[in-house]
């Protein structure tokens, strides 16, 4: 993400485009249309209901999914009109994921999506992300310190001190249910 | 530890410089404005105190109805607490400038008390020099070096008070006796004192003083506006009051004694003169009598002389007549004799002729004889001749000889006869001639006698005529003399009675002399001083409202800022607590932060406020008080401490409160993110009709507004306050200008007021009106009488200076002054039983229609009148009545002293031309044009207007700072949310809208509330500022609402514009951070 906001040496090529060469406006447009983002602390707008939080994202992009459908998909059909403060951490993160995927992005970036969640809820979220990836054919990148999650990924890139130390393709990604930490 | 906290504070300041700066600015504005406006009143008071001290203005002033003497001065000097006493002479006179008589007070120039400040030129040295008020040069067509002539209204036999009345203007001054443009009243002209001038003592011809000015010991050290000073001076005045009676009596007695003495002298002189005159008359009468006698004598003498002369003449005439008769008879005799003689002569002549003839015959015979003889002789001689012949011849010769003898005898006889005849003729002729001569002589004698008689007669007649003429002359002269004497006698009697009457009058008057009355006054008698003090107090009142509002807003803002800051830093708080820092130490950082911002801001604010605001306001008041030029601007410790104190206490209080509120929680709690405030549904959502139509951001905005109630309220209050302040500023301005429009459009209908010379008689005024009405520019003229009175009522102790306006024509009065009921604004007509009083006066006196009002004239007589209506009026106080009512109330005959005129919508130049033409008439003493008054008033009110601009600008600044601060708080509070939506892909514009929509909406709500609040505030402030002679009707023009809103909107826009850039810089990384 750093590369997207401020220029550092090097190239960021996504889908054949050198994102690092994009200007500010182009970058915003790119984020708006092609990227979904899931934060560690959900970053829901406290003032908006679950549904509205999803709408916050969909209203700015053209090719979006129906917020209600997406929320149903993440299992929140009954909590749609609740404010974030009325939701548990897992539910909030699910709203956040719904918000991210409702934009129908090509790329879903997740920054420690389970960092603030307990084990069970964390697994539920990871399951949701894996399902989204599989079912919606969406590229999902999960950034995490929790190495235990790695086996579920198709591709694992390990960073050490800011540089990629290894890149490996996972031939047989395991299902979330099988992961323990 | 403290060092680290200090360091931490400094770092914090660097980090959040924007917040710090806004805190600092708001403190600066709040404290600066508060301190500045608050300090203005003391500064104004100090300014006037310094001015008075510098010019040594009197502390106590004594005026007396009978003047003051040197002895009075000495006595006042002896009073405890009085250090210096000076007697001064002054007099109101007319000065003619450009054909207009201006009322000017001539004051004796002194040093050591009431010193004048020289502005231009030099002070006068000679008695024909003067210095005039600086304004007079500025406003009238006079310059240094010009000559002016002062004109006094002198009574008969009254001496001029000045040796020189043609004065050269050598300079201009400002006098501390007159600090205001309004110099009070005068008994001359229109009753308004226009200017003053100073002339040296050497030009004053008076042995009395009109005023005694005294300086009080140690009063200089006191503040002239302080209670201490008033109390001190009141004590001194009480002491002066103690000698009052004695001095009054002394003055009265000396004046009456002197006058009595003078009168006695005069009487004696009169009696002397009377006796002298009577003696003179008696002498004259005697003389005339003598003259008459002489005349009679002369006439008698003349008659006698005439008689005598006539007798003489008659005698002479008769004598002469007798002589003439005698002469005539003798002449006749002579003529007869002469005739006889002539006849005798003729006879003698014929005898003679006969004799001659005889003689001639004889001669012829003789000749023949002779020739014969000769022949004979000759023949004889012939010797040849025979002797016979010779004898014959001898015989013949002898015969011839005998014949010749005979003949010769005869011839001789004849000749003798002839001779005898001749002789007798000659004798006769001689005798005749003698007779003729005697006749002629007698004739001559007689004619001489006649001539002589005639000439004598003529002479006598001439003499008589002369004598007669002389007598006639003498008679005439005598008659004239008699007449003259008669006249003189009459005149003398008249004069004597006159003088006696006068003496009687004077004696009467002497008994009429009222007891002397002393008026002991303090500085409030100084024209303008009271109004300056009350203006200063008005500013104080203004200072109670405006800066307090400012202050409240500033405190609210800094309070939110600090609270917000602490809330943002709960984790740090928790960490510190976990590390074992005491609560006090933790708080210290924020306290230091707040304190530094507040103190620095406040100090800057004070520096600017204390210097700028009072000097601006004082300089604005200079328009009204031109002589106060040196503003004393001081650092006012009281308000500095108060301002800084309140600000600091509030900010630190808020800081501590927030800190303590947070610190009650356990460190672990603190380090966890603060549970976010839960979103809430707002009532609007229950109205799906509206809610569903709202765009997404609108919904967020509305929710946000209700969620962050504190911020919501803060913003609204802030913006409301600023809008209200700005609108108030404009409203004050509008109301002030409206005041003039109301007064000059709704009340005053006339275009000019002609003040007439006081000596005019009614028919002269009528002539003047006819003359004026002939001018095409003038459509209407109204005779009016105006007099200044003091109005009081039974309801309270208030005294109001009113102008009593008396009209002769109540029906047409509304063409000149509209009398509208103050409530219904319906037009009213005066009647002959009630007076109308203007609104403010009625209010001050607490009276209404049906009550009675007491009017006190300048001599102190009190008249009571019934109030019929209270009428609309905005400036000054008036009582209106008809001339009939006036005569009834005052028991005095109505007399016109003013003419109101209405003109034909003239332009300013046309009006000036007309006025100039009007003033050429000597019957018009002065002229006041409504247009001029309006301009003058607007000039005065301009000063207040400018104060308003200060308010507007300050309020604008405040608005800006408030908005800026709110925007900052808004952003910093929502930085995470903003970063998140940025990550979501919101364009800059969309992020901006997301934030500013809220601000904009709040701004609008704030503006609308602010406009209401502003209207209310204007009313409050205008009521506070309303000076005695004015009524402010709160008027806010639509344009003021627009401008006030506009200014707030512009500031909002500027702040939003700045926000846009701040938002652009919001780092999306913020979204990744944990909730702090």
The CATH number of whichever domain residue A143 belongs to comes to: 3.40.50.300
Residue B178's domain comprises 56-241
∠ CA(B915), CA(B921), CA(B922), 5° rounding? 125
Within B174-226, where are the H helices? none
| Residue in A23, A43, A47 to test binding to B, most B beta-carbons within 10 Å | A47
Burial category of B748 from C-beta neighbours within 10 Å (exposed 0-12, middle 13-18, buried 19 and up): buried
Residue-wise DSSP of B566-586? HHHTHHHHHHHHHHT--HHHH
- In-domain check, residue B1020: no
Task: Name the helix (H) or strand (E) containing A33.
Answer: helix A24-34
> Residue B141's CB: how many other CB atoms inside 10 A?
9
Cα A133 to Cα A141: distance, rounded to the nearest angstrom:
10
Please tell me the distance from the alpha carbon of residue B169 to that of residue B704, in angstroms, as a whole number: 75
Residue contact B1067–A5, C-beta within 8 A = yes
B74 plus B29 within the same structural domain: no
**pLDDT digits over B684-716, tens only?**
677 777 777 777 777 777 777 777 777 778 778
Same domain, B829 and B882: yes
Residue B87: pLDDT over 80 = yes
Q: pLDDT digit string (tens) for B760-810?
A: 788 888 888 888 888 888 888 888 998 888 888 888 888 888 889 999 888
- Do residue B113 and residue B197 come from a single domain? yes
Count of domains forming chain A = 1
**pLDDT attached to residue A5:** 46
Indicate whether B454 and B489 sit together in one domain.
yes
Q: Which domain does A47 fall in, by range?
A: 2-178
pLDDT, average across residues B591-604: 89
Helix (H) or strand (E) holding B788: strand B778-792
Q: Among residues B320, B322, B314, which one has the least CA distance to residue B460?
A: B314
Euclidean distance between CA atoms B144 and B672, whole angstroms: 85
- Among B512, B536, B568, identify where a domain stops: B512
- Kindly state whether B173 is in contact with chain A, defined as any CB-CB distance less than 8 angstroms: no
**What is the predicted pLDDT for the residue at A4?**
45
Q: Do B668 and B763 reside in the same domain of the chain? A: no
Of the candidates B241, B270, B300, which is a domain's last residue? B241
CA distance A171 to chain B (A): 31
B1076 in a structural domain: no
Top-confidence range, B35-49, B89-103, B662-676: B35-49
Looking at chain B, the whole-number percentage of residues with pLDDT higher than 70 is: 95
Distance CA B934, CA B739 (A): 10
The reply to whether B148 and B210 lie within a common domain is: yes
Q: Is residue B616 part of a domain?
A: yes
Q: Are B620 and B761 part of one and the same domain? A: no
Beta carbons of B654 and B598 less than 8 angstroms apart: no
- Residues B42, B47: Cα–Cα separation, whole Å: 8
Query: Has residue B1060 got a pLDDT over 90?
Result: no
Both B560 and B494 in one domain: the answer is: no
- The full 3-state SS of A50-113, as one line of letters, equals HHHHHHHHHCCCCCCCCHHHHHHHCCCCCCCCCCHHHCCHHHHHHHHHHHHHHCCCCEEEEECC
Domain boundary among B642, B657, B675: B675
Q: Per the structure, how many domains does chain B have?
A: 4
| Residue-level pLDDT at B878 | 92
Low-confidence winner among A2-16, B215-229, B829-843 (lowest mean pLDDT): A2-16
Closest partner residue to A84 (CB to CB) among B679, B986, B990 is B679
Rounded CA-CA distance A64/B730 in Å is: 53
pLDDT at residue number A3: 42
Contact B680 A31 (CB under 8 A): no
- Among B572, B598, B580, smallest CA distance to B662 is for B572
Distance from C-alpha of B944 to C-alpha of B951, rounded to nearest angstrom = 11
**Over the range B703-716, which residues count as b (16 or more CB within 10 Å of their CB) and which as e?**
bbbebbeebbebbb
- From the list B734, B730, B624, the residue with the least C-alpha distance to B949 is B730
Tell me if chain A has a CB within 8 Å of the CB of B986. Answer: yes
Of B676, B699, B1074, the CB nearest to A46: B676
From chain B, the residues in CB contact with A60 under 8 A are 984-986, 990
Q: State the distance between the two ends of chain A, measured CA to CA, in whole angstroms.
A: 27
- Phi and psi dihedrals of B212, rounded to 5? -115, 125
Confidence band of B881 (pLDDT split at 50, 70, 90): very high
Q: What is the pLDDT of residues B390-412, one digit of tens each?
A: 777 777 777 777 777 777 787 77
A147-174 confidence digits (pLDDT tens): 888 888 888 888 888 788 888 888 888 8
List beta partners, residue B838: B871
Task: Identify whether residues B50 and B60 lie together within a single domain.
Answer: no
Contact call for residues B210 and B62 (beta carbons, < 8 A): no
The values of phi and psi at residue B126, to 5°, are -85, 165
* Predicted TM-score of the model (pTM): 0.62
Taking the C-alpha atoms of residue B145 and residue B673, their distance in angstroms, rounded to an integer, is 86
Each residue of B26-52: pLDDT tens digit?
888 888 888 888 888 888 888 889 888
Residues 38-77 (A) with a CB less than 8 A from some CB of B: 39-41, 43, 45-49, 52, 55-57, 59-61
Q: B980 at the A interface (CB within 8 A)? A: yes
Give every CB contact of residue A166 below 8 A, 6+ residues apart in sequence.
A156, A157, A158
With residue B358 as reference, give the H or E element that holds it.
Answer: helix B227-381
Contact status of B700 with chain A (Cβ, < 8 Å)? yes
Kindly report the average pLDDT of chain B as a whole number.
82
The answer to whether residue B131 scores a pLDDT higher than 90 is yes
Q: What is the pLDDT of residue B693?
A: 73
Residues B42 and B60 in one domain: no
My answer on whether B490 and B593 are in the same domain is no
Distance set, CA B752 to CA B803, B843, B933 (Å): 17, 28, 10
Nearest CA in chain A to B979: A43
Looking at chain A, which residue has its C-alpha nearest residue B1071?
A43
Mean pLDDT on B322-333: 82
**Closest-CA residue in chain B for A41?**
B1074
Q: B844-868: per-residue pLDDT in tens?
A: 889 988 888 998 887 778 888 999 9
A174 touches chain B (CB under 8 A): no
| B579 falls within a domain | yes
Q: Yes or no: say if B103 and B94 are a contact pair by the CB < 8 Å rule.
A: yes
Using CB atoms, which residue from A83, A86, A111 is nearest to B1072? A111
Do B51 and B223 meet the contact criterion of CB atoms below 8 Å apart? no
pLDDT in tens, chain A (181 residues): 444 444 456 777 777 777 777 888 888 888 888 888 888 888 888 878 888 888 888 888 788 888 888 888 788 888 888 888 888 888 888 888 888 888 888 888 888 888 777 888 788 888 888 888 888 788 888 888 888 888 888 888 888 887 888 888 888 888 878 877 7
Same domain, B666 and B759: no
Give the B window 641-680 contacts with A, CB below 8 Å: 673, 675-680
Q: Following CA atoms B958, B960, B961, B966 in sequence, which dihedral angle do they give, to the nearest 10 degrees? A: 120
Task: Give the largest CA-CA distance in chain B.
Answer: 253
Of the listed ranges B80-84, B662-666, B1008-1012, the one predicted with least confidence: B662-666
A58 to chain B: closest CA residue: B984
Query: Residue B331 sits in a domain of what CATH number?
Result: 1.10.287
């Amino acid at each position: 993400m750093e590369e997207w906001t401020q220029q550092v040496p090097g190239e960021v090529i996504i889908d054949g485009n050198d994102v690092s060469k994009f200007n500010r406006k182009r970058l915003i447009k790119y984020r708006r249309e092609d990227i979904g983002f899931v934060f560690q602390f959900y970053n829901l707008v406290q003032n908006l209901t679950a549904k509205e939080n999803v709408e916050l994202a969909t209203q700015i992009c053209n090719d979006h999914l129906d917020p209600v459908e997406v929320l149903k998909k993440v299992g929140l059909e009954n909590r749609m009109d609740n404010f974030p403060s009325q939701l548990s951490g897992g539910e909030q993160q699910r709203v956040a994921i719904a918000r991210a995927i409702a934009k129908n992005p090509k790329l879903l970036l997740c920054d420690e999506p389970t960092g603030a969640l307990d084990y069970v809820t964390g697994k539920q979220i990871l399951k949701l992300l894996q399902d989204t990836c599989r079912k919606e054919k969406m590229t999902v990148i999960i950034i995490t310190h929790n190495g235990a999650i790695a086996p579920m990924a198709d591709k694992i890139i390990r960073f050490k001190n800011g540089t990629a130390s290894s890149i490996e393709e996972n031939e047989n990604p395991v299902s979330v249910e099988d992961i323990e930490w | 530890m403290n060092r680290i906290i200090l360091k931490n504070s400094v770092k914090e300041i660097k980090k959040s410089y924007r917040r710090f700066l806004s805190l600092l600015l708001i403190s600066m504005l709040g404290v600066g404005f508060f301190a500045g406006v608050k300090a203005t009143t003391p500064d104004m008071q100090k300014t006037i105190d310094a001015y008075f001290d510098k010019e040594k203005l009197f502390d106590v002033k004594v005026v007396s109805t009978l003047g003051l003497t040197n002895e009075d001065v000495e006595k006042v000097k002896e009073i405890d607490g009085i250090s210096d006493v000076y007697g001064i002479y002054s007099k109101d006179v007319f000065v003619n400038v450009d054909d207009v008589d201006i009322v000017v007070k001539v004051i004796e120039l002194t040093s050591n008390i009431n010193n004048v400040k020289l502005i231009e030129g030099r002070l006068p040295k000679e008695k024909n020099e003067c210095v005039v008020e600086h304004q007079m040069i500025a406003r009238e067509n006079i310059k240094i070096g010009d000559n002016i002539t002062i004109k006094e209204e002198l009574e008969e036999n009254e001496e001029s008070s000045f040796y020189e009345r043609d004065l050269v203007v050598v300079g201009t001054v400002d006098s501390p006796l007159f600090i205001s443009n309004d110099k009070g009243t005068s008994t001359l002209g229109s009753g308004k004192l226009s200017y003053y001038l100073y002339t040296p003592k050497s030009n004053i011809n008076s042995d009395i003083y009109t005023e005694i000015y005294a300086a009080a010991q140690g009063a200089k050290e006191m503040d002239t506006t302080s209670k201490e000073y008033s109390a001190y001076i009141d004590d001194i005045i009480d002491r002066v009051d103690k000698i009052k009676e004695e001095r009054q009596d002394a003055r009265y007695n000396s004046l009456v004694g002197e006058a009595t003495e003078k009168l006695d002298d005069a009487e004696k002189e009169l009696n002397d003169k009377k006796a002298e005159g009577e003696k003179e008359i008696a002498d004259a009468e005697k003389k005339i009598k003598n003259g008459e006698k002489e005349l009679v004598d002369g006439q008698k003498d003349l008659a006698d002389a005439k008689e005598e002369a006539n007798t003489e003449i008659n005698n002479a005439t008769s004598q002469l007549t007798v002589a003439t008769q005698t002469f005539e008879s003798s002449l006749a005799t002579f003529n007869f004799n002469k005739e006889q003689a002539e006849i005798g002569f003729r006879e003698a002549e014929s005898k003679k002729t006969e004799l001659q003839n005889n003689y001639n015959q004889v001669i012829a015979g003789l000749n023949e004889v002779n020739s014969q003889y000769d022949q004979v002789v000759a023949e004889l001689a012939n010797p040849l001749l025979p002797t016979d012949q010779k004898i014959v011849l001898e015989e013949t010769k002898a015969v011839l000889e005998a014949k010749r003898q005979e003949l010769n005898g005869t011839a001789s006889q004849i000749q003798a006869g002839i001779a005898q005849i001749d002789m007798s003729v000659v004798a006769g002729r001689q005798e005749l001639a003698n007779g003729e001569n005697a006749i002629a002589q007698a004739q001559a004698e007689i004619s001489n006698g006649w001539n002589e008689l005639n000439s004598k007669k003529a002479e006598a007649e001439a003499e008589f005529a002369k004598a007669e003429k002389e007598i006639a002359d003498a008679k005439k002269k005598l008659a004239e003399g008699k007449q003259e004497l008669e006249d003189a006698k009459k005149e003398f009697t008249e004069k004597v009675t006159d003088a006696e009457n006068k003496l009687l009058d004077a004696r009467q008057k002497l008994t009429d002399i009222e007891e002397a009355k002393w008026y002991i006054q303090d500085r409030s008698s100084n024209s303008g001083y009271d109004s300056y003090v009350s203006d200063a107090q008005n500013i104080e009142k203004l200072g109670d409202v405006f800066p307090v509002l400012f202050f409240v807003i500033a405190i609210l803002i800094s309070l939110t800022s600090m609270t917000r800051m602490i809330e943002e830093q709960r984790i740090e708080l928790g960490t510190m607590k976990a590390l074992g820092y005491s609560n006090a130490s933790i708080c210290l950082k924020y306290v230091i932060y707040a304190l530094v911002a507040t103190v620095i801001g406040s100090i800057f604010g004070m520096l600017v406020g204390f210097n700028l605001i009072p000097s601006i306001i004082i300089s604005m008041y200079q328009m009204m008080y031109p002589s106060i030029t040196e503003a004393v601007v001081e650092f006012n410790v009281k308000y500095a401490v108060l301002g800084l104190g309140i600000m600091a206490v509030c900010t630190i209080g808020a800081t501590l409160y927030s800190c303590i509120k947070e610190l009650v929680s356990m460190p672990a709690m603190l380090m966890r993110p603060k549970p976010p405030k839960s979103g809430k549904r707002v009532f609007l959502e229950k109205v799906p009709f509206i809610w569903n139509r709202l765009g997404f951001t609108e919904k967020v905005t509305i929710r946000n507004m209700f969620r962050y109630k504190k911020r919501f309220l803060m913003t609204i209050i802030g913006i409301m306050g600023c809008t209200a302040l700005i609108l108030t500023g404009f409203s004050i301005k509008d109301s002030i200008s409206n005041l003039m429009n109301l007064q000059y459009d709704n009340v005053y209908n006339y275009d000019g007021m002609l003040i007439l010379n006081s000596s005019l008689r009614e028919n002269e005024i009528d002539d003047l009106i006819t003359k004026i009405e002939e001018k095409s520019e003038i459509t209407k003229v109204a005779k009016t009488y105006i007099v200044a009175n003091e109005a009081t009522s039974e309801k309270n102790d208030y005294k109001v200076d009113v102008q009593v306006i008396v009209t002769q024509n109540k029906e047409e009065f509304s063409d000149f002054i509209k009398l509208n009921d103050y409530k219904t604004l319906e037009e009213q007509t005066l009647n002959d039983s009630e007076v109308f009083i203007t609104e403010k006066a009625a209010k001050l006196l607490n009276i209404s229609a049906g009550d009675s009002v007491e009017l006190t004239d300048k001599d102190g007589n009190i008249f009571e009148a019934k109030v019929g209506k209270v009428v609309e009026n905005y400036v000054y106080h008036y009582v209106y009545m008809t001339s009939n009512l006036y005569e009834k109330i005052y028991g005095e005959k109505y007399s016109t002293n003013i003419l109101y005129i209405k003109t034909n919508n003239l332009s300013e130049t046309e009006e000036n031309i007309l006025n100039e033409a009007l003033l050429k008439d000597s019957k018009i003493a002065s002229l006041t044009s409504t247009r001029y008054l309006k301009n003058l008033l607007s000039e005065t009110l301009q000063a207040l207007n400018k104060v308003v601009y200060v308010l507007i600008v300050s309020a604008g600044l405040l608005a800006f700072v408030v908005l800026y601060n709110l925007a900052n708080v808004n952003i910093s509070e929502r930085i995470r949310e903003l970063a998140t939506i940025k990550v979501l892909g919101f364009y800059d514009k969309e992020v901006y809208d997301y934030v500013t929509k809220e601000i904009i909406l709040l701004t609008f709500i704030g503006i609308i509330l602010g406009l209401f609040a502003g209207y209310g505030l204007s009313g409050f402030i205008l009521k506070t500022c309303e000076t005695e002679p004015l009524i402010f009707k709160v008027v806010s023009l639509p344009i003021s609402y627009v401008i006030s809103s506009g200014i707030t909107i512009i500031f909002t826009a500027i702040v939003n514009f700045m926000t846009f850039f701040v938002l652009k810089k919001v780092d999306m990384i913020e979204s990744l951070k944990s909730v702090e």
